[in-house]
C-alpha cells in the first residue's frame, strides 16, 4: 500500500492558534476515537497541552467493543482523566459536565474563597473527525459548531459558551508525518484523513486483512466471507455477495471498497476496536 501522509497548511495555523490560547485554558479535552485510541493520539498536541489537566474522551464508544475499557485504564495509568463517550447521545452531557466540574473543583473553591465567580475554559483538541465539534455542540446545547462525517470540516478555533464553561472548538490537527503506517491506516479507515488523497482499493484490502485477523466472524455474518486466506479473495467474495459485478462479469471493486469502508464507519459490521490494549501496556498517553 502507498504511504499515507497528510498535513495540510491550515493545521500549522491551527497549532499556532492553540498554542496562543493555551494559557487561557484551565484544561484540555482531547478527543480520541474509541475504535483506534493509539492511532488518534497525537503526541504533538501533548506538547501544546504542557502541564494542563487533560480529559481524554474515547469518543464514538457506541461503535467500539469492550477493548476500549482497557484503554481507559491505560490512559488513567498515564495520569490523565478518561471517559468513554457517545457525543451523539444527549445523556452523555451530564457525565462530561460532571467530569469538567471535578477537574476544576479545587480551582473553583479557591476562587470562591476569594469571592470570585469565574468561568473555566477548556480547549477541545484532537485529530480530524473524532467528534470535537459534536462534543462542543452537545455541551453547549446548541448546534453552533459545524460538524460533518469527513476530515477538515472545522477550519478555525472558536470559543463557545457551555453552561459554566467556555470551550474552544479547534480544527483537527495531525502529526506532520506518520512514522507508523499501520496506525496511519487506522486513521484512513475511520475517516480522519481526507478521502480524496486515499486509494480506496488499498484501504479496503488492508481493512479486510485487519478485520479478518480480529473479527473474522463479523465478516462472515455481513458478507458471507468464510475463506480468510487471501485479501483479494475476500474482496471478491464481498463484491459477489453484494452484487457488485460489472457488465461483462468483472467485479466492481470500486463499489465494493466504498461499501466496506462505509459499513465500517457507520458501525454496520459491528462494534470494533482496531487496537488491543494488551499490545500497549506501558504506553504513555
Ligand atoms: N456514532 C458516533 N458518531 C459521532 C460521535 N461523535 C461524533 N460523531 C460523528 O462523527 C462525525 C464527525 O464529527 P465532528 O464533530 O464534525 O468531528 P470533528 O472533526 O472532530 O469536529 C459527524 O458525522 C458526527 O455526527 C459519537 O460519539 N458516536
Ligand atoms: Mg470540527
Q: What is the residue range of 217's domain?
A: 181-266
Q: Is the pLDDT of residue 273 over 90?
A: yes
- The number of folded domains in the chain is 2
DSSP code of 79?
Answer: T
Residues 107 and 40 in one domain: yes
CA of 248 to the centre of ligand 2 (A): 44
Mark which of 147, 177, 207 sits at the end of a domain. Answer: 177
Ligand positioned closest to the Cα atom of 59 = 1
Q: Which atom of ligand 1 is nearest to the CA of 85?
A: 27
Residues 25 and 152 in one domain: yes
Q: How far, in Å, CA of 219 to CA of 238, rounded?
A: 9
Residues 120 and 192 in one domain: no
pLDDT at 238: 97
pLDDT at 8: 83
282: region left, alpha or beta (phi > 0 left; psi from -120 to 50 alpha): left
Kindly report the CATH number assigned to the domain that includes residue 245: 1.10.1580.10
C-alpha cell at 14: 491551527
Which SS3 state, helix, strand or coil, does residue 86 take?
coil
Kindly report the CATH number assigned to the domain that includes residue 28: 3.40.50.300
Cβ proximity of 167 and 159 under 8 Å: yes
The verdict on residue 35 lying in a domain is yes
Residues 170 and 249 in one domain: no
Residues 93 and 185 in one domain: no
Sign for the pseudo-dihedral over CA of 163, 16, 84, 98: negative
Q: How far, in Å, CA of 75 to CA of 57, rounded?
A: 10
Residues 124 and 240 in one domain: no
Ligand 1 environment, Cβ below 6 A: 59-60, 62-63, 85-88, 126, 128-134, 147-149, 153-154, 172
Q: Which backbone phi and psi does 31 adopt, to 5 degrees? A: -95, 120
Q: Which atom of ligand 1 is nearest to the CA of 267?
A: 1
Mark which of 177, 198, 214 sits at the end of a domain. Answer: 177
Residues 97 and 167 in one domain: yes
Residues 26 and 140 in one domain: yes
What H or E segment, with its residue span, contains residue 274?
none
Mark which of 177, 206, 225 sits at the end of a domain. Answer: 177
The verdict on residue 276 lying in a domain is no
pLDDT tens, position by position, 75-102: 999 999 999 999 999 999 999 999 999 9
Residues 96 and 147 in one domain: yes
The verdict on residue 29 lying in a domain is yes
Task: Give the range among 35-49, 85-99, 153-167, 190-204 with minimum mean pLDDT.
Answer: 153-167
Residues 152 and 242 in one domain: no
CA of 108 to the centre of ligand 1 (A): 31
pLDDT tens, position by position, 233-243: 999 999 999 99
Q: Is the pLDDT of residue 260 over 80?
A: yes
- Using CA positions, which residue lies closest to atom 11 of ligand 1? 149
The verdict on residue 25 lying in a domain is yes
pLDDT at 155: 78
CA distances from 33 to 21, 87, 128, 217, 243 (A): 24, 11, 10, 23, 32
Residues 46 and 133 in one domain: yes
Rounded mean pLDDT of 13-36? 95
Q: Which backbone phi and psi does 200 adopt, to 5 degrees? A: -65, -30
Residues 119 and 250 in one domain: no
The verdict on residue 26 lying in a domain is yes
CA of 154 to the centre of ligand 1 (A): 12
The verdict on residue 280 lying in a domain is no
Rounded mean pLDDT of 184-210? 95
CA of 145 to the centre of ligand 1 (A): 11
The verdict on residue 47 lying in a domain is yes
**Pairing mode, strands 54-59 and 27-33:** parallel
The verdict on residue 281 lying in a domain is no
Strand partners, 168: 123, 159
Q: Which atom of ligand 1 is nearest to the CA of 137?
A: 15
Ligand positioned closest to the Cα atom of 139 = 1
**Percent share of the chain, pLDDT over 70:** 100
CA of 226 to the centre of ligand 2 (A): 39
- Predicted TM-score (pTM) of this structure: 0.95
> Which residue is associated with the grid cell 459558551?
161
Amino acid at each position: 500500500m502507498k504511504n499515507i501522509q497528510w498535513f495540510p497548511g491550515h493545521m500549522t495555523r491551527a497549532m499556532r492558534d492553540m498554542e496562543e490560547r493555551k494559557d487561557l485554558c484551565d484544561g484540555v479535552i482531547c478527543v480520541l476515537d474509541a475504535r483506534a485510541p493509539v492511532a488518534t493520539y497525537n503526541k504533538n498536541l501533548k506538547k501544546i497541552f504542557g502541564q494542563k489537566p487533560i480529559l481524554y474522551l474515547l469518543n464514538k464508544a457506541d461503535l467500539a467493543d469492550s477493548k476500549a475499557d482497557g484503554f481507559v485504564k491505560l490512559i488513567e495509568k498515564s495520569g490523565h482523566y478518561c471517559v468513554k463517550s457517545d457525543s451523539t447521545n444527549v445523556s452523555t452531557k451530564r457525565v462530561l459536565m460532571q467530569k469538567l466540574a471535578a477537574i476544576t473543583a479545587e480551582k473553583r473553591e479557591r476562587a470562591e474563597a476569594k469571592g470570585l465567580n469565574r468561568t473555566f475554559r477548556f480547549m477541545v483538541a484532537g485529530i480530524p473527525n473524532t467528534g470535537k465539534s459534536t462534543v462542543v455542540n452537545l455541551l453547549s446545547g446548541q448546534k453552533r459548531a459545524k460538524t460533518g462525517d469527513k476530515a477538515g470540516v472545522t477550519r478555525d478555533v472558536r470559543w463557545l459558551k457551555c453552561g459554566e464553561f467556555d470551550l474552544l472548538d479547534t480544527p483537527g490537527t495531525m502529526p506532520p508525518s506518520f512514522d507508523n503506517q499501520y496506525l496511519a491506516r487506522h486513521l484512513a479507515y475511520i475517516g480522519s484523513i481526507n478521502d480524496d488523497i486515499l486509494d480506496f482499493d488499498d484501504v479496503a484490502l488492508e481493512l479486510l486483512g485487519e478485520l479478518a485477523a480480529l473479527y473474522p466472524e463479523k465478516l462472515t455474518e455481513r458478507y458471507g466471507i468464510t475463506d480468510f486466506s487471501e485479501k483479494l479473495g475476500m474482496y471478491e467474495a464481498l463484491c459477489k455477495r453484494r452484487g457488485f459485478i460489472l457488465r461483462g462479469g468483472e467485479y466492481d471493486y470500486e463499489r465494493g471498497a466504498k461499501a466496506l469502508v462505509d459499513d465500517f464507519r457507520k458501525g454496520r459490521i459491528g462494534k470494533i476496536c482496531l487496537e488491543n490494549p494488551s499490545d500497549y501496556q506501558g504506553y504513555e498517553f
